[in-house]
Amino acid sequence: MKWRDRKAGELRKEHVGERLALAGWAARRRDHGGLVFIDLRDESGLAQLVINPERAPEAAKVAHEVRNEFVIRAEGEVAARAPEAVNPSLPTGEVELQVDELEIVSRSEPLPFQFDEEHVDEGLRLRYRYLDLRRARMQRNLRLSAKVVAAIRRYMDEHGFVDVWTPNFTRATPEGARDFLVPVRLQPGRFFALPQSPQLFKQTLMVAGLGRYYQIAVCFRDEDLRADRQFEFRQLDLELSFPTREDVWETLEGVVCASFEALGREPPARPFQRLAWHEAMARYGNDKPDLRFGLELHDLTAETRGSEFKVFSQASSVQYLAVPQELSRAELASLEELAKEWGGKGLAYLVFDEEGEVRSPIAKFLAGEVIEAVRPEQPAATVLFAADEPLLVARVLSAVRNHLGRELGLIDETRDEFLWVSDFPLFERDEETGSWTFSHHPFTGVRPGDEDLLETEPGSALSQAYDLVWNGWELGSGSIRIHDAEIQRRVFRVMGISDEEAEERFGFLLEVLRMGAPPHGGFAMGVERFVALLAGELNIREVVAFPKTASGSEPMTGAPTPIPEEILRELGIEVLPQPE
């Protein structure tokens, strides 16, 4: 017996008169005084079954037993619907199956949520993920994801990139997160680290003469989960030998456009925009600015040096945003809260009314020239100031800018803005220890000409790193790498890694770089982030089949779980009692 002759969503007028079988889930059952209608759903869509007790008394009995999400099989004849029963919103809406035989193949317990419910609790959705995945939104997202991954692979293959699998049991690969560790039974007390990225392997593959490498690589990072972060995620990971950064950018732009095309969408204009990091920070306060709206930052540091207003004159940076409307007291108070959440002390403001009159508790402390310098062209406007360390000012005003962009509807949702940000500082201060640490990863190339700054002024050295940003989301990052062992050592030293420690942790890399290493560079793009944005989803959990919750659990299988004592003993592991 064949389970089905066609898929439900394929039925069309031209099939009228055909006898066939369909199989799938009962999406909905309606009883209409004798006649029973069932929407049968499979992976292709829905078809309407009609069970008429006069035509098929046995099937009618079975139909009464059918509940939502039972698996059923129906045999019958495709018939045209009466004109008044045509459903134009359904591709199969002109026809229905007049059922002769109906079988319940598999029953379902009562559902924990209804499929057409809009706001099902996420915990419940993840606990019953297989039911959630049956729903239209998740079906669409998983299929879209598969299409994008297929398009990426096609593009990479066509452009000479070799897909190489690299190990998941390896040594620490520093990308700024904690490692997930794997104990080794045969060598108790020793651990593999799961890769935060295949960074060192892909560099090694360039030294191995591969020329062009790519992989859809799974990466593991132990860090707090957020809307755009999971413990494990996939990257389109790639590396080229003898590249300029333009070669890398061109590859990524090609991948992005191929993905749009695979989804039948107009690809974004190429080349993508470019901004140097310092310019992105100066204009948007952010290294991943959303360029779909303006509301740029302005600097007022020089103008406020001699100000009576100490909050301004004593701050190392004073910047402002000119908002094109009068904000109410309540709005200002909530923006001030937002500024504090981002580490600011507050948010000073000047409100200019329709007549151009200024309303503000700080106006009396500001010189007339300063007020005139910030007065927006149009009346009815609000100027918001932050005064503090430059990076903090940037962080606060950028958060306010993004918030206002959304709240005031300044974002042009019809636009797609792709952007390359480059020329990042090579190092940044570790917030906890105050020492220099990498801003991307320790293998990022130094901007040619900045090598001498490594010892004298590391904070001023720029890197050869670049990020790809789409509508304010960082899609990924990459760089031209260090291919000289001596420079690599010097970079380690700036970060407080002694030559001995470098040898111990990265000796193999230093050796690789001494064995004929070609200049090389690459990139990694977060696949789930990219897919989520393509799907119009704000949370990557919506495009991951079985994601972890924000607290790092997987509710369907119940992982993670405790492990029996004897297994731990075999691994040489003892679990310390957990504080309450």
The binding site for ligand ASP (CB under 6 A) comprises 175, 197, 199, 235, 441, 477-479, 522-524
Residue 196 CB, nearest distance to ligand ASP (Å)?
7
Start-to-end CA distance of the chain, whole Å, equals 59
CB-nearer residue toward ligand ASP: 73 or 202: 202
Tokens of 311: 């909050």
> Is the Cα torsion angle 76, 78, 79, 84 positive or negative in sign?
positive
CB-nearer residue toward ligand ASP: 218 or 408: 218
CB-nearer residue toward ligand ASP: 76 or 195: 195
> Is the Cα torsion angle 167, 170, 175, 177 positive or negative in sign?
positive
CB-nearer residue toward ligand ASP: 48 or 230: 230
Q: How many alpha carbons fall within 13 Å on the CB side of residue 416? A: 16
Per DSSP, the residues of 458-523 read GGG-BBSEEEEEETTEEEEEEEEBP--HHHHHHHHHHTT--HHHHHHHHHHHHHHHTTTPPPEEEE
Residue 192 CB, nearest distance to ligand ASP (Å)?
18
Per DSSP, the residues of 90-155 read STTTTEEEEEEEEEEEE--PPPSS-TT-S---HHHHHHTHHHHHHSHHHHHHHHHHHHHHHHHHHH
Q: How many alpha carbons fall within 13 Å on the CB side of residue 315? A: 26
Residue 443 CB, nearest distance to ligand ASP (Å)?
7
Residue 547 CB, nearest distance to ligand ASP (Å)?
19
Tokens of 548: 């972890």
Tokens of 235: 């990257």
State the CB neighbour count (10 A cutoff) for residue 489.
Answer: 18
The SS3 call for residue 19 is strand
**Pairing state between β 427-429 and 473-480:** unpaired
Q: By the 8 A CB rule, do 39 and 51 touch?
A: no
Residue 249 CB, nearest distance to ligand ASP (Å)?
13
CB-nearer residue toward ligand ASP: 145 or 235: 235
CB-nearer residue toward ligand ASP: 45 or 442: 442
Residue 403 CB, nearest distance to ligand ASP (Å)?
27
CA distance 504 to 331: 55
CB-nearer residue toward ligand ASP: 161 or 523: 523
Residue 559 CB, nearest distance to ligand ASP (Å)?
25
CB-nearer residue toward ligand ASP: 317 or 464: 464
CB-nearer residue toward ligand ASP: 199 or 241: 199
CA distance 48 to 36: 10
Residue 346 CB, nearest distance to ligand ASP (Å)?
35
Residue 504 CB, nearest distance to ligand ASP (Å)?
21
